[in-house]
Structures are given as C-alpha cells and as structure tokens.
Homo-oligomer: A and B are copies of this chain.
C-alpha cells in the first residue's frame, strides 16, 4: 500500500521547481503523489488548510505538512 502525498501549489515558479524536484522525486514505489493547483481548485484550499498548509508550495505526507520554500501565502488563494 502506497503512502498518499498531496502536493499543493499555485503554478508559481517556486512551486514548479519544488514540484519537478521534490514532489516528482519521491519514490513512485512508495508514494502516490497527487498534484493540486489551488488556484484552479479553490474548493480544496480548506482541505489544505486543515492539513496545516500555510503557504504553497507544500506537500502533505502522512498528515504532516512540509512547506518547501515560499511561493505564496494560502490566504491569497482563498475566496
């Protein structure tokens, strides 16, 4: 059973670098990585927030939020 990893981003340059290197660098034998663009999927902002995400890019693995550098605050993606 693979571990779910959810990568939240907003298409920003910082996000793209983190996605291409860290998110897509995870072992595909152990992780199922879902990429979520919070600008396009605003209905998932609250889900990210509940998981502890404060800014993007961030990846949530096993319920833990890991913020990777800083692209944008989650608040600008709301509403």
Contact = CB atoms under 8 A, between A and B. Distances in A.
B68 A21 contact: no
Contact of A25 (B17, B27, B69): B27
8 contacts: A5-B25, A17-B66, A21-B61, A22-B61, A25-B31, A26-B26, A26-B27, A27-B29
Number of copies: 2
A64 B29 CA distance: 25
B26 A66 contact: no
Cβ-closest 6 pairs across A and B: A27-B27, A25-B26, A21-B61, A66-B68, A67-B69, A22-B66
Interface string A22-51: 100111111100000000000000000000
